[in-house]
Amino acid sequence: MAEHGIPGEILHPGAPTPTVEAAARALGVSHEQIVKSILFLVNGQPVLVITCGTAHVDQRAIAARYGVGRKRVKLASPEEVLAISGYEVGAMPPFGHHLPLPTLLDRRVLDLPEVFAGGGDESALVRLDPQDIARATAAEVMDMTTAPGSPE
């Protein structure tokens, strides 16, 4: 974060935070304030998706974005996540991976004044301004919880 001028604060809440629920409980914040970084493989290529809390990622939205069938979008395995990003599932931050990853950011993340993301291990979180996540990842902002064109 310091190397790339990303303001934020690394927090160690004193309890493991591998899930949205555990992180929200440890920090005393709402589930929506916890952002999750999820690695998908689209036609075998990694794509990072960042969304709020317990929201369900609609793989049809990812498929539509990349012009592929839904079956071409797969959740990366824990082993693939570690190999591609350098972080374990449940600890992956939104940036700072082995290589820059194409990133899709759910538009709802930007509605929040501050969020908490994985901090690199399951006992660390990072407090961030969502705009800094968008800037640091060069993310494409889109609706990740409903299929494109669906009513909300």
pLDDT at 150 over 70: no
Cα(53)–Cα(75) distance, integer angstroms? 17
pLDDT at 148 over 50: no
Q: Model's pTM, two decimal places?
A: 0.91
pLDDT at 120 over 80: yes
* Contact present, 13 and 4 (Cβ < 8 Å): no
Q: What number is the average pLDDT over the span 34-44?
A: 96
pLDDT at 147 over 80: no
What per-residue confidence (pLDDT) applies to 60? 94
Q: What number is the average pLDDT over the span 113-129?
A: 94
* Contact present, 91 and 78 (Cβ < 8 Å): no
pLDDT at 152 over 80: no
Where is pLDDT greater, at 122 or 63? 63
What per-residue confidence (pLDDT) applies to 3? 72
Distance of alpha carbon 105 from the chain centroid? 7
Q: Which residues contact 60 (CB under 8 A, 6 or more apart)?
A: 70, 147
Identify which of 133, 152, 131 has the alpha carbon closest to the alpha carbon of residue 143. Answer: 152
What per-residue confidence (pLDDT) applies to 146? 56
Query: Where along the chain do its domains lie?
Result: 9-142
Choose the CATH number for 9-142 among 3.90.960.10, 3.30.40.10, 3.20.20.140, 3.40.50.720: 3.90.960.10
pLDDT at 89 over 70: yes
